[in-house]
Every structure is written in C-alpha cells, then in structure tokens.
Structure 1
Amino acid sequence: AFQDDQVPKAVRVRSSGLEGQSAKIVLKQGDEKVAEEPITFSGGEQLVSVNFTPKKAGDFKLSASIDPVTDEVVKDNNSQTQPIRVVDAKIKVLLIEQSPRWEFKYIQALLMRDRRIKLKCVLMEGDPSIANYKDSPYLARVPTDKKELYEFDLIILGDVDPRNLSAGQLEAMNEFVSKLGGGMLMIAGKSYSPGAYRGTALEKLLPVELASDDRAAREASSEKPIRVELTPAGQRSMMMRLADTEADSTAIWSKLPPIYWDANVARAKPAAEVLLVDADPTRGSRFGKRPVLAIQQYGAGQVCYAGTDNTWRWRRNVGDKFHAALWGQIVQRLSLPHLLGESKRIQLTADKRNYSLGEKVTIFARLFTEGYEPLAEANVRGFYAATTQPSATRQPVALKPLPDQPGMYRAEFTARDPGEYQFALERDEKITLPITIADAQLELGDTAMNEPQLRQIATVSGGQFFREEDLFKLPDVIRRKTETVKSTLDVEVWSSPLCFITLIVVVTSEWLLRKAMQLK
C-alpha cells in the first residue's frame, strides 16, 4: 500500500442466525483504528469492501474485527489479521510508443489516474511540442542521458520501431535492468515488437525467443476469437490475481472476453516464468502453447513480455475492473523491487499469507547466482523461527528444485504451533518472508447447522430430520413395532445329551436281553 492513497480492503464475513442484525467492521493498522464500515447480516457469506488511507509508512499488522452482537454464542472468531507494508513514494514509469494505438490509450489513461504512479510518455510519431505544456505527461524524446533514464523505476516499451532508438539508448535500457534492477515491459504489436528487435541489446533480456519468421510474428489480427488461459504458475501468481482467492481468480480469467491477436514467438526462454498462454495448442510450437505473458529475472531486474495488444478488450461490460487491476499489479511487480531496493537474487513467496494449525505451509523460492543466472543446486537449506521469541529454536526446512523451472525451489512443512514466524534461507538470512499460523478453530469458523448434511444422514440411516421447533411432531411419527428375531443354534451330534442317552439305552437293552436269554 502507498501512504496517503486510499486502499480498498475486502473483508469476508460469515454469519448464521443473525439475519437482519447490524454491526460494524473495524479496521486497525497496528493499534490505530483507520476505518469502519457498517454491515447488516444476511446470513451465509458476505464480502464487504472497507476503504482506508494509511498515513504512516512502514510494516504493520492490519486487522479486521466485529464486536460481538446480542446473543452471539461464539465470540472468539470475530477478527482476522494480516501483514501490510506502507511506502511513501511514487512509482516512476516511462511509457514509450510509436503511435497512439488502442492499447496505449487505455494503459496511459489508467496509469495517469493512478495516484501511486508518476507517468511520463514518449510518442515517436507525436508532436514533440506537446511536452512543452505545463504539467504535460509527455517528453519530447526518449532520454539519451543514462542518469535521466535511470530515474525511472519501470520502462514500458510498446510497438516501437527500433530504428528510432540509438544503439546507446538500447544498451542503456539493458543496463537499467541488468545492473540497476529496474523493470521493463515490452507490449507486442503488429508492426515491430518483438520481432524487429532481433540482434539488438533488448533481444537478450526478453523472456521469449523470437520466431525465425518475422512476418508470422507480425501476422494480422484474426477474425477468430482467441482464448487465453493461466498456467499453473499464473494461477498462483499474485500479479495475475483478479479476485481474493486463486479459484475465483482462475474462474474470472476463464470468462474474460477473447482477444483477436497475439504475437508468434518461438518459445519461452528456460529461465522465464510463463503466466499466460494462448489456449489453442495448434497456434503454439513443438515446445508447447504460445506464451502470451511471461516474466523473467534479467540481471538485477525483471522483464515482462506481453504478447498481445488486445487486453483493452477485457474492459467489455465491466470497464476498468479487471483491466486496471491487472496492469496495476504488473506495474507494481516490475517496479517495486527497484523502488524499495529489495534483493534481486532471492525471491520468497508463499501460497497464502495465513495458515491454520496443522495445515501444510508451501514456500516458493526463486534463486539466482551472483551472476544472476538461475541457481542449479540440488538442495537449498532454509528455516523458520518465531518472531515474538528472540531465542526461539530455528526449525530447519529443505527446499527442493522444481522440475523444468530453473532456479525455482519449493519447501513444505506443517504448521505445528500458532504465532508469527519468519522464513529465511541459510545463504542469506536478511531476506525474510513473514508467516502467520493461527489455531484452526474449525468449530468456531463455521458454527451454522449443516442442514443438508443432517438430512442426508437421516435418509441414509432410515430416519427422519427434525428442527428444534418441529419436535412436537415426533410422537406422531413414532410407531410401536414388534419384530421377530430369528436365531440358529448349531450343536454337534456327538456332544448331544440325546445321543448319550440313546447309547446307554441300547447298551442296557442288550445286556438285559442277554440275561433273559441266558446268553453270555
């Protein structure tokens, strides 16, 4: 979050038996209340947006809570906390374009509206005099002085003819990323990008390999709609998140309007992370589906490739809702490391921020060597420790490399004790990832009666389901019933008393008969 900039925070509330009652959601930054929002319970799950404006920069705990309402049975599940970082700076973006195509117009408009961003634009085919107007967002030319260029955090290069840029400017952009840790985004176009940059200093930093046929790379728009789909990496990437949860975000992506053009490239480079692809496998290559959005670490900085200039089509029927969210997150991902001066060789992420006791914690680490090549070690050691206990014992964790993803490692462990933790690597303990582990409290998390499941249990067992207010009907449905129980007793013949008696009778009869007949 940015200081003095309004931040919308989505709070998910689940309630039962409180329909029609009202309460207030209170938002606190640390111990200071920063916002509150009324809520009227409707039963089930509700998503409430609470807006607040952070006034202080730094790392804080942001908590949302609701005071217990009248007759509430469980009062221990009315709050949730997560970490937040507030910065006091603006992201400086340089947007370079050949001519004002649709993609440029919409991206320029949303970046100019964003209070977190200080935007400067260069139109190669525009009138240089527009830069002379007061508060003009335009520059007359692309900076030729490295110092001037390096003041930016992010360079967005559109469908620009590379002949309009000198070899020195192209090399300066390369160094801006590789040595200074700046961000770069190339947005493909039908005239020049990315194919025309073959053999230039920018070809090296792109996360994709250029197609051998430049004509095919700049093929005309298709009349057939093109669907895009998230890769597994894209599904878990916060940069691509269009909703609060991964599942909801993936569902939104699957329903976005189609595009009608994407650039043909050979494949993604080995160190690149492909986030979005053309869903049609026939438009890909022998290496897989065609990359539409890919990102990679290049030296000290990050480079993103957008293989379509049709993202403005995703505004249909919803306006800026998803289009602005996506581009805002891309800009933040590429520029914030340079703005905040974070480490470029170690990037730690978790599959989510908060975990329940006993839940599996998954940590991803993207690691590079001192030369900014993907790390290729078989094992990497890490650990996590409680932040509230300075003398807490470190819990060692092993990270294993992910197949077919150079430099990418994963660690998994079970959250055994509640508290605030930090995860770090033994190779550099200064780079940490905060983790929160809380009691699962499954009974307190959802206290509503699961009526469908209870009815199913009653049906399967041959019984009936009654709510408390219907118990008076119970005597009428109970019927006395006598049942005959059949049982079988198996007895061995030779152990039967009847058999013994019969034997005695036979023997005795024989003896008496012999005596009577005077037989021996």
Structure 2
Amino acid sequence: MQNLHFTPSLTFFTVGCVALIVVGTLCVLATTRSARPKRTGAIEALRFLITLLVVLMLWGPEWKTIITPENEPEIAILWDASRSGETLDAQLPDGKNSVVSRRAFIDSALKLDVWKTLENNGKTAVFSQPFSEPSPNTETTATTLQGTDINDPIEKLLEQHDNLRAIVLLSDGDWNTGSPPIGAAQKMLLKNVPLFTIPVGSKERLPDIEILDITAPTYGIIGEPIQIPFSLRSSLKRDINTTIKLRDTSNGKEFTKKVHIPAGKEYFDNVLWRIDREGTSKLELSFPVAEGELVVENNRQEFIIQGKKENLKVLVIESIPRWEYRFIRNALSRDPGVDLDCLLFHPKLGKGDGPDYIQDFPDKLEDLQKYDVVFIGDVGIANGQLTLKQTELLKGLVENQASGIVFIPGSKGNQKTLLNTPLGELIPVILDESKPEGISESTASPLALTSQGRGSLLTMLGDNELENERVWKNLPGFYWSAAIEKAKGGADVLATHANRRNRYGRIPLLVTKSAGNGKVLYLGHDSAWRWRRGVEDLYHYRFWGQVARWMSYQRNMAAGEQIRLYYSPDRPRPADVVTLKANAFDSNGAPLTDGSIYVDVTSPNGEKSRIELTRSAEAWGSYSGRTRISLPGEWKLSAGIVNDADATVETTIIAQGDVLEKTGQPARPEVLEEMARVTGGEVIMAKDIKDIANRINALPIKKPQEESIPLWAQIASMITLIVLLALFWTLRKLNGTF
C-alpha cells in the first residue's frame, strides 16, 4: 500500500494556510484588475501553484510504502556445528548435571518439544540450520583453516528471510573467523529481529596441557646444534613434571628433556637438536598425557626443518696479533664450514702474510659482498688501518647484504676513532670516551649471563641448559674490558660484567643488535681465548663457530650464484605479510645496477603469482617486496633476474598454521550476552530452555515494514520549483511587454 503523508508542525501549517489565502487573494485581484485577464489569470495561477508547492514542501511530504509480508512469520534456530563441539564440558539440565560434549548438548536441545510450541498452530514457521560445519576435506590445509564464523550465517539469514520474528542461537560464542558477530547483531537491531542466545559449554578451560607455539629456524647446518624454542600452556590445577620428546619421524631419532610445568600458567623452554642429514626433515614435539588431562590431540605438533651444508666466508680485521686474534684465527681456520680471510695491520712489521691472509682491504663491492661475517678487532681510522670510505662499505655490507659484523675492542683503544664514522652507528653500546684504553683489573672477572643470554643459542656452550649454566660459571675470567656505559636502545644484552656496575646497572659486555638486514655483535673484553684453559678448544671453538653461523643465518636462507634471497618472518603463519629481500649480482659478482628482480610464488594449493621487487639500495643491488601468506603449508619461491634465465634461486617457506578450531577451549558466553543485549533479545540458560516459547510469543507483533521517500529532500523537487519560478518570471515579463 502506498500513500502521500504530511508531517507539518502547527506553526508551519498555520503559516502555510495563511500564505495560500493571501497569495490566492492577490492573484484574484491582479486578474480582475488586468486589461488582459486571461493571460494574467494564467500567470497568477502559476504563481499560486508555485506558492502551493513551497508550502507543501514545508509540510514535509513523504511517499510511504507499507510492505506486508506475503509469507508467515519465521523463527530461525542456528546451532554451532564446529569442531569445538567435541569439548566435553556441557551440563545437561536433567537434575543430575550430567556432563556431555557441547555437540551432544545441542542435539538434546534440538529434540525438545518446545520448538513445536513456537509454530503456533501453523501460524509461524520454525526451521533450524547449522553453521561452521567441518569440511569433509581431511587435508592439513583445509583442517587448519576451519573455524567458527558467527557473523556470516546471521547476515545471510537476514538477507534471505524478510519476515523473521526471532533468531535462536545455540553456540559456545568462541568465534575465530569472519567479522565480529556484534556487527550482525546491529543489523538485526535495524531490522527489529531479536536474538535469543543459549550458551553452550563452560567458561573454565578443561584440564589440559597444550603446545602453543614452536618457533624453529627454517634450516640448520648439518652437524651443528640448533635451538628450537617452544611454549606450553597448562590449565591443570597442579604442577606437572613431564618429559618433552623431539623425534625425527623419518628415522626415529629422539631427544628427550625433563621439564616442570607450573599449574595454570604458560611455560617457555627450548630443546637443542643436531641435524645429521641434508634435505627436509619432519620433526615432532610431544609429551605424554598427564593424569586428569582431558584433551589429548594437542600434546603433539609437527614441523619441518631443512638441513644444509655450509661454506661461510669470514673476514677478520686486526691491528696487532694479540692473543684473542690468534685464537679466533686458529679456531675459524680449522672450521671445515668456514672460508677465512685475515687482514692484519701490523704497525711495525707490516701486513700479515701467509695462509688465510689478504694484503689489502677489499674495496670493490664484488669482492666485499662475498663475506658473510666480518670481525673488527682493535682497529680504527688511522694511517695503515681503515679509511672512512671503508667504514661506509662495511656498514653497507651489513645493512644491505645481511652480513654480520663482530666488534672486539682492545687495550690500544683504536675503536674509539670509529665512533664518528658510519661504523659508529652500528656499535650497540655507548662507550665512555674518556677511557679509550678500557679498564684493567688485577683479578679475573667472569661474565654473568642475563636471562636473555641463558636462552640464546649464541651462549649455548653445553648440551643442555643446566650444563650450560655450569659451564659459564666455571669459565676463566678476563683482566681487561672496554669502558662501556650502557647498551643502546633496541640492543639485546646477553652477558654482563659479574663484578662491576655503574649508575645504569650491570655493565653489558656481550651485546647483539639488528642493523638493517644484518646483525651486530659486541664483545667488550679480549679474553675469550682464556676459555681454552684445561679444555683446549672445547668452548672457544664452539662459541665463535656459533657466532659465525648465527650472524649469517638470514643471509644464507637461499643463496645462488647471482641472487641471494631472504625473508622475514622465517616461519610465517596464515595472514602474515612476509617481507622478501634479495641481493642480485652480475656475471662478474658485482652488485646488479641495471635490472629487475622477480619472485614467482606458488601457494600450497598450486596457485601462482609473480612479484616484482623494488630496488632499495642501488649501489648494493638490493631489492625488496612483500607477499601475504594465506594458507598453511609449503610456499615455493623462485627468484630471478628478468631476461637472464640462468640467474635464479629457489627456496621454500614453511607456513606453520595453528588449527583455528580447537577442542578444550573455554566458552565465551559474554559474546552471546552482548549480541542478545544489542538486539533486544535475551540470554536463555540451559535450565530455562523450555520457557523460550513463552518469551518469544510474548514479543510484540511485528509491524509491517514501512519505507518512506522524503519528497522535500529530492533533487527533482528542487529542479521543478526552479523551472516553475523561471517560467513565471519569463511569462510575467512577456505579459508586461504586450
């Protein structure tokens, strides 16, 4: 039904009537007094019509359409069919408080006769439908992405049904995909559809211990230990002593570690694993089911790691052959995975010569870019040492080529001259410039690991954490250290001076920091060589080997002849944005200055896309780009130089996706309560389900939907009025002419 409706206020109605009477009177008088009454009468009639239109617009005319639904009112019952329904924490209102799964609770609720009562002798249609049903696809990717979306099914109901009287929602409220369900509740409010929610499940987490996260590196060096951090969460009400087991699923190799998990808290730890073969290995972290634990499937988690052979290129720069330099050179030269070059600026004897020595600093980019790690000893800006241009090259190598740089100051204080050079920005500590020669002590002082240092692979000198702590306590101390005030912002302090402190606290002596794409390490004493006492190379060799491999980790993610590709984060999750960075070189090994780099991305489901990387540092052949990870699984990357088919490198990103829909998670009734409140509905507890028919039937009868078009606000009304005014003015002038 359609009609024209006016809503004038008393003032506008009165003013309008008076205006019409006055204008009508004037029109009649003008017509009767005119010498040409017919022509004047037509013009005055137009004047009156314009006045009438203006008055009607002031009275707020609206064209109303009343829509009466042709079908009968409907009540929709939505029930949660997601995998979380397997959680065993729902109590039946049977007087015995029997505990069943959430799915069983919903099934029993749907079988009640109360839903037939809502049909009201056939005057109301009642229908039910599930949402978030698990897909029959059992592939890991499909299972991982399945979740609970409460918003979407409600919005679809509102679109498909125009005569909904109410919606009943049976769910635990634990949504994890889609838009927030409060948006659907607001749309229900606009359509005057109340929501009645029936919470299912308990707000308390089931007694359980679950693996939250495993942050393993993407690859490891064959024969070298890697650190695999993990986190657990316990909802048990008592502490648990258990055994973590890390197993290679292909050959059965195992590593076990006893852990103590506190009650009701998250637990963070790591395990050490040694890769023994090249290629991809699937590892499984697991622990036995504890007494009273109800959820078993989250006690194990698999991940993939790659084993690689290595060939690190290391440059050591020093001014004098001090003991620290000699033993670093000795350790790295005997490391089969390291290709060592040494540049010794001896002030009196001339530059060092012999095996592993070079005579000049590699000033060409194609020569310098090959180094994965650079050690800077007691060297500065001086005749016969480094130049300002060379410090710029070293900084560019770290920031643009993802190389690592290690600062080891000495008692000569030469590194003080680096503070006002580009390398000074990389030094991760603030030095006391009044003491360039450092601080000497009469007794040996040990290093004290920080909490961050105790969990770092760099400082892991034992086979486990307990042994490592014992090793560090027994390491020989140092007699000289750099005059350090504090660490710079963003730096990680791994070890401090055990016997000295200043106004900033413990003096940091082992500090790391990121710089652009690369890493920086600062060791504030020159006595690591003394760790050989009584044990020879056991700890000294291991420490510097770990430093070289840790600092070159990102740079060697995927290295080809002409392209080096690395990315961050190295273990992304679905929905993460991965930053891709590449260094490209020409056939002579010099950084590419003219060319384009592409990356072909193949997703786990076979979809392919190409990304054109943008140049970020022209002199260093650096390029960068971004891609979004949408699925868990293996993402294959193939980077290349446009118009050069031979210049390619391939790698694989492992996107470790958590299963969105987990059993054992606590229910979220507060979500359902907020939705019901917004829509004007109610929260119905389990014991009150039988009363839901009375509450819905008590709702006021839904009025027919009414749509109105405000005619006064339409552009057509304004145009019509302007045209009539223009016509009136023109005719009036013409009438005065004739």
TM-score by length of 1: 0.53
Secondary structure of the corresponding residue to residue 302 of structure 1: strand
1:196 to 380, 401, 417: 417
Deviation at 1:423, TM superposition (A): 13
Query: Who is 1:516 aligned against?
Result: none
User: What CA distance in whole angstroms lies between the structure 1 residues aligned with 2:458 and 2:539?
Assistant: 12
- Residue 245 to residue 141, structure 1, CA distance change in 2 (3 Å): same
- Residue 369 to residue 172, structure 1, CA distance change in 2 (3 Å): same
Query: Who is 2:309 aligned against?
Result: 88
- Residue 30 to residue 117, structure 1, CA distance change in 2 (3 Å): farther
- CA deviations on 1:386-419 (whole Å, 9 max, x unpaired) are xxx99xxxxxxxxxxxxxxxxxxxxxxxxxxxxx
Q: Is the counterpart of residue 221 in structure 1 residue 436 in structure 2?
A: no
Runs (5+) with no aligned partner, structure 1: 11-26, 37-48, 65-79, 350-364, 371-388, 391-420, 437-520
Alignment of 1:331-350 (within 5 A): 331-341=548-558, 343=566, 346=569
User: What CA distance in whole angstroms lies between the structure 2 residues aligned with 1:249 and 1:130?
Assistant: 38
Q: Is the counterpart of residue 319 in structure 1 residue 542 in structure 2?
A: no
- CA deviations on 1:211-234 (whole Å, 9 max, x unpaired) are 231xx2423531122121011110
- CA deviations on 1:294-319 (whole Å, 9 max, x unpaired) are 00011111111010110111111111
Query: Who is 1:233 aligned against?
Result: 452
Q: Is the counterpart of residue 242 in structure 1 residue 461 in structure 2?
A: yes
Letter in 1 for 2:490: A
Secondary structure of the corresponding residue to residue 185 of structure 1: strand
Secondary structure of the corresponding residue to residue 315 of structure 2: strand
Query: Who is 1:122 aligned against?
Result: 343
Query: Who is 1:152 aligned against?
Result: 371
Letter in 2 for 1:237: S
Alignment of 1:314-393 (within 5 A): 314-341=531-558, 343=566, 346=569
Letter in 1 for 2:486: R
Q: Retained in 2: the 8 A contact 1:301–1:344?
A: no
Q: Retained in 2: the 8 A contact 1:181–1:344?
A: no
Secondary structure of the corresponding residue to residue 553 of structure 2: helix
Secondary structure of the corresponding residue to residue 222 of structure 1: strand
Deviation at 1:346, TM superposition (A): 3.8
Q: CA RMSD in A?
A: 4.1
1:285 to 479, 502, 506: 502
Q: Retained in 2: the 8 A contact 1:226–1:278?
A: yes
Secondary structure of the corresponding residue to residue 458 of structure 2: helix
Secondary structure of the corresponding residue to residue 160 of structure 1: coil
Query: Who is 2:521 aligned against?
Result: 304
Q: Is the counterpart of residue 276 in structure 1 residue 495 in structure 2?
A: yes
User: What CA distance in whole angstroms lies between the structure 2 residues aligned with 1:188 and 1:129?
Assistant: 19
Higher relative CO (Cα under 8 Å, sequence separation at least 6) belongs to 2
Letter in 1 for 2:416: G
Deviation at 1:245, TM superposition (A): 2.5
Q: Retained in 2: the 8 A contact 1:2–1:116?
A: no
- Residue 433 to residue 249, structure 1, CA distance change in 2 (3 Å): farther
Runs (5+) with no aligned partner, structure 2: 1-218, 228-245, 255-271, 286-300, 559-564, 582-603, 606-631, 636-651, 660-738
Secondary structure of the corresponding residue to residue 138 of structure 1: coil
Deviation at 1:94, TM superposition (A): 0.6
User: What CA distance in whole angstroms lies between the structure 1 residues aligned with 2:443 and 2:633?
Assistant: 49
User: What CA distance in whole angstroms lies between the structure 2 residues aligned with 1:110 and 1:7?
Assistant: 15
- Residue 219 to residue 8, structure 1, CA distance change in 2 (3 Å): closer
Report the identity percentage: 28
TM-score by length of 2: 0.38
User: What CA distance in whole angstroms lies between the structure 2 residues aligned with 1:423 and 1:217?
Assistant: 51
Aligned length: 314
Letter in 2 for 1:189: G
Deviation at 1:327, TM superposition (A): 1.2
Letter in 2 for 1:291: P
Alignment of 1:121-140 (within 5 A): 121-125=342-346, 127-128=350-351, 130=353, 136-140=355-359
Q: Which runs of 4+ in 1 moved over 4 A?
A: 5-10, 27-30, 49-53, 80-84, 126-129, 341-345, 367-370, 421-424, 429-436
Q: Retained in 2: the 8 A contact 1:217–1:265?
A: no
Q: Retained in 1: the 8 A contact 2:283–2:305?
A: yes
User: What CA distance in whole angstroms lies between the structure 2 residues aligned with 1:254 and 1:62?
Assistant: 33
- CA deviations on 1:300-350 (whole Å, 9 max, x unpaired) are 11111010110111111111111111111111111121122575654779x
Deviation at 1:108, TM superposition (A): 0.8
- CA deviations on 1:102-137 (whole Å, 9 max, x unpaired) are 011111111111111111111111654835xxxx31
User: What CA distance in whole angstroms lies between the structure 1 residues aligned with 2:534 and 2:444?
Assistant: 17
Q: Retained in 1: the 8 A contact 2:381–2:388?
A: no
Q: Retained in 1: the 8 A contact 2:225–2:274?
A: yes
- Residue 217 to residue 167, structure 1, CA distance change in 2 (3 Å): closer
2:320 to 94, 99, 102: 99
Alignment of 1:55-74 (within 5 A): 56=278, 58-61=279-282
User: What CA distance in whole angstroms lies between the structure 2 residues aligned with 1:311 and 1:207?
Assistant: 19
Secondary structure of the corresponding residue to residue 118 of structure 1: strand
Secondary structure of the corresponding residue to residue 100 of structure 1: coil
- Residue 182 to residue 52, structure 1, CA distance change in 2 (3 Å): closer
Secondary structure of the corresponding residue to residue 423 of structure 2: coil
Alignment of 1:441-452 (within 5 A): none
Secondary structure of the corresponding residue to residue 162 of structure 1: coil
Letter in 1 for 2:506: K
Q: Retained in 1: the 8 A contact 2:220–2:226?
A: no
- CA deviations on 1:128-171 (whole Å, 9 max, x unpaired) are 4835xxxx311111111122111111111111132211111100
- Residue 231 to residue 2, structure 1, CA distance change in 2 (3 Å): closer
User: What CA distance in whole angstroms lies between the structure 1 residues aligned with 2:517 and 2:273?
Assistant: 37
User: What CA distance in whole angstroms lies between the structure 1 residues aligned with 2:580 and 2:426?
Assistant: 17
Deviation at 1:194, TM superposition (A): 3.5
User: What CA distance in whole angstroms lies between the structure 2 residues aligned with 1:105 and 1:434?
Assistant: 47
Q: Retained in 1: the 8 A contact 2:314–2:374?
A: yes
User: What CA distance in whole angstroms lies between the structure 2 residues aligned with 1:8 and 1:274?
Assistant: 22
Q: Retained in 2: the 8 A contact 1:346–1:431?
A: no
Query: Who is 1:173 aligned against?
Result: 394
Q: Retained in 1: the 8 A contact 2:495–2:510?
A: yes
User: What CA distance in whole angstroms lies between the structure 2 residues aligned with 1:113 and 1:124?
Assistant: 22
